[in-house]
Homo-oligomer: A and B are copies of this chain.
Amino acid sequence: MEPYGIALLGCGTVGSGVAKLLLEEPERLAAQAGQPLVLRKVVVKDPGKAREVALPSNLIATDCRSVLSDPSIQLVVEVVGGTAWARTAVLDSLAAGKDVVTANKALLAQHGQEIFDAGRKHGRSIAFEASVAGGIPIIGALTQGLAANRILAIQGILNGTCNYILTEMTDQGRSYREALADAQAKGYAEADPTMDVDGTDTAHKLAILSQIAFRIAIPLNDIPRRGIAEIDKIDIGYARELGYTIKLLAEAWVDPKSTDGPIAMHVSPVMLRQTYPLALVRDAFNAIFVTGDAVGSTLYYGRGAGQMPTASAVVADIIDMAVGRAQQTFRSLKLWSSETKKTTLRSRATIPSRFYLRMHVQDRPGVLAEITRILADHQISISSIIQHEAMEGPEGSAVVPLIIMTHTALTGSFTDAVARINRSPSVLAGSVYFPVAD
């Protein structure tokens, strides 16, 4: 049978894993794909660099031209990352008549429509299973397995770096700085971890999942996001005392009674009850709840990053392309097209939530009365409260942490109440709050 020719753009961690599978498992993959999968070119910046995979030297190229002009290459696999060189390479590949598999979430989240329009214009297809949650086949679940459903909610741990750091902080009592340094030493975090820890990477992935689940395109900057750098180990301690764990979640949901209405969406640290399934996801693992109107809640769990898990997803896409399924999915779903709804997100102020609030207050009579009065004025009722004794100093002079867990309240009312609490002379700067989910 005619072999299926593949070019790989990039041969870093993920690219080496893809090359390894293609070069070392040809018979098994051919059986899955119904034809031999042949790696014909690997485009790298520095051909002399040591790699984790032994590449035959005749495969190595340093620019895309030899790929674009080679009629024996049907598929280009982009695992370079970034949005500059990769964007041009993907657009050029589509224009040259190649289908494209990409693992690049930033590229899709920021240039999805341009790239998918180019695919449609040139009659080519794009697949992207590896762009979200590494080896977990979540894109396939959303595009095929749950296709009969109106998706009501997505809730996921989508960044392994953040989850590793939070697990270390929770289990070892480490500070954010210490846990980040440990994650960097172990290769879970990059030298510049900004995109991971500030929630940008998670927002990229949420934008991609929302495109499939809700058919909406949200400009990345419109997704409210908080990262994990602000999380103090003090709050992790109080969370534990209250029976909760803090996780960085991506969440998007519609009102089940009005599924065409605006969508609520954010990336944020959230306090989860310790028995909630996502609270149990440790280290660099990812997990995603997807709720559909017919299927109810389903959960997908696995390694969200790393060489071979991500290569597993890339090669699944390569097989789908060789078989022809990916092209049919591309044509039938019309993702990132003019049919994509331009939607506005539901205003944060109108979203009901429970909240955890930590304040530093003067340890003197009347303070608790003042704070609870403000909350009551905003229709916020208190579910539990912790105030430990001040450690030292004469009575009345000390500052003590005061922790309040609320019942469900409107986010707008809650943030108004916090603003008013923060103006009180009895409250020091630096109140901290997180949404709570049970």
Contacts and interface: CB of A to CB of B under 8 A. Distances in A.
A303 B297 CA distance: 7
Q: Please give the count of copies of this chain that the complex contains.
A: 2
Nearest to A299: B301
A299 B299 contact: yes
Given A140-B137, A309-B295, A332-B33, A21 B148 contact: yes
A294 B137 contact: no
A301 B303 contact: no
Interface string A269-312: 00000010100100000010000111111111111000011011
A109 B302 CA distance: 28
A51 interface: no
Contact of A312 (B146, B311, B333): B146
Interface residues of A, number: 56
A339 to B, nearest CB: 8
A111 interface: no
Given A295-B303, A299-B302, A300-B298, A137 B148 contact: no
A329 B323 CA distance: 8
A225 interface: no
A314 B135 CA distance: 25
A40 to B, nearest CB: 18
A366 interface: no
Contacts of A280: 275, 277, 280
A323 B312 contact: no
Contact of A302 (B129, B287, B295, B314): B295
Given A147-B316, A312-B148, A294 B140 contact: no
Contacts of A318: 148
Contacts of A32: 147-148, 332-333
Contacts of A135: 292, 294-296, 298
B309 A296 contact: yes
Contacts of A25: 150
Contacts of A29: 148
Contacts of A136: 298
Contacts of A292: 135, 312
A28 interface: yes
Interface in A4-55: 17, 21, 25, 28-29, 32-34
Contacts of A324: 328
A309 B28 CA distance: 33
A95 B299 CA distance: 38
A145 B140 contact: yes
A331 interface: yes
Contacts of A62: none
Given A287-B299, A292-B312, 7 more contacts: A33-B332, A137-B144, A140-B140, A145-B316, A149-B312, A295-B309, A298-B302
28 contacts: A17-B294, A21-B148, A32-B148, A33-B332, A135-B292, A135-B298, A137-B140, A137-B145, A140-B140, A140-B141, A144-B319, A145-B313, A146-B312, A147-B315, A148-B314, A148-B316, A275-B280, A277-B301, A294-B308, A294-B309, A294-B315, A295-B312, A295-B313, A298-B300, A299-B299, A300-B300, A323-B328, A324-B328
